[in-house]
Amino acid sequence: MKTLLSIFCILVCICGCGIHFAADQPASGTVDITYVLHRTPTSGSNQVAVWIEDEGGKYVKSLFASKFAADGGFKQRPDTLPEWVGISDWENASPADVDAVSGATQWVGTQTVEWDLTNQSGVTVSTGTYIYKIEGNISRTNRVIWQGNIDVRGKGNTSMAEGIYYPANAAEEEPLVEGVKAVYSP
């Protein structure tokens, strides 16, 4: 009886440790985040940022930000992409970080931003579920944040994001961003 109990305990430890280590495996592949971008003809509009958070909501990496916002435009217009600026601590971003994510205002149409499964320091992230977000200024004070989860382990998969408008009546304005999805390719 003692032998069976010992074997059972050893198997539980081995299986439990195996599950723990599997969760900490480096991720491989890429995630393409695709969205349809429109233009809004209002003051303070058309600013967009795309970033990744871990499942707990901790910042991982910025993938794209409109040049005005990335170059510090949020200092002169504090309503510019406030969630992205706050979570990324963009006020303290290095010039290399700014260069890596800033881009000219994107053209109207379908846009794709690729995440190489690294964090802001260039280190490969672990397998698991991540949150992708796109924040856009529809006007000076009206925003939309699209958010979805993408699993980066095992086989490829696709995820559709949901948009939340701030304030809620901002949803009545012309769309800035829509049709947001992520595709993981191992």
Domain boundaries defined on the chain: 28-185
DSSP 125: P
The number of helices, as runs of H, and strands, as runs of E, in the chain is 5, 10
pLDDT tens for each residue of 149-175: 999 998 999 999 999 999 999 999 999
Confidence of residue 103 (pLDDT cuts 50, 70, 90): confident
Q: Please identify, in words, the CATH class of the domain defined by 28-185.
A: mainly beta
pLDDT tens for each residue of 36-61: 999 988 877 899 999 999 999 999 99
Contact in structure between 130 and 33 (CB atoms under 8 Å): no
Cis peptide before 167 (omega within 30 of 0): yes
Contact in structure between 31 and 118 (CB atoms under 8 Å): no
Selection from 167, 181, 186, 153 nearest residue 55 by Cα: 153
